[in-house]
Amino acid sequence: QKEVEQNSGPLSVPEGAIASLNCTYSDRGSQSFFWYRQYSGKSPELIMFIYSNGDKEDGRFTAQLNKASQYVSLLIRDSQPSDSATYLCAVGPAAGNKLTFGGGTRVLVKP
């Protein structure tokens, strides 16, 4: 079993719709959770982080964390073609050490 699992996609979303991405993790001691966006050929770009159970909103992005169920999700509202990318879920311990990444979910937003 992988430590951080994501559906590889592609997740096809019409422009203006909500894209919903999920991530599950195996280490119950994990305390920090991140979403990165990665365009083809580029490096990962941090778009959201969440440390406490519940929802965290930043612009069109909402991260949701449920530690009891060991999942974290990302919602992208009003999806735009520029949101087409691979979204990486990353999980880390409280001490800010190494991150463990999932394989990423490819999102395609169609005009």
Partner 1 sequence: DTGVSQNPRHKITKRGQNVTFRCDPISEHNRLYWYRQTLGQGPEFLTYFQNEAQLEKSRLLSDRFSAERPKGSFSTLEIQRTEQGDSAMYLCASSLGGISYEQYFGPGTRLTVT
- Does residue 109 contact residue 50 with C-beta atoms inside 8 Å? no
9 lies in the binding site for partner 1 (CB under 8 A): no
Amino acid at 93: P
Query: In angstroms, how far is the first alpha carbon of the chain from the final one?
Result: 36
* Residue number with CB closer to partner 1 (27 or 78): 27
Closest CA to 107 of 18, 4, 19, 15: 19
The structure tokens 């019409």 sit at 14
29 lies in the binding site for partner 1 (CB under 8 A): no
* Residue number with CB closer to partner 1 (43 or 82): 43
10 lies in the binding site for partner 1 (CB under 8 A): no
Instruction: Report in angstroms how near the CB of residue 77 gets to partner 1 at its nearest.
Output: 22
Residue ranges in contact with partner 1 by CB under 8 A: 4, 32, 34, 36, 42-46, 49, 51, 88, 90, 92, 96-104
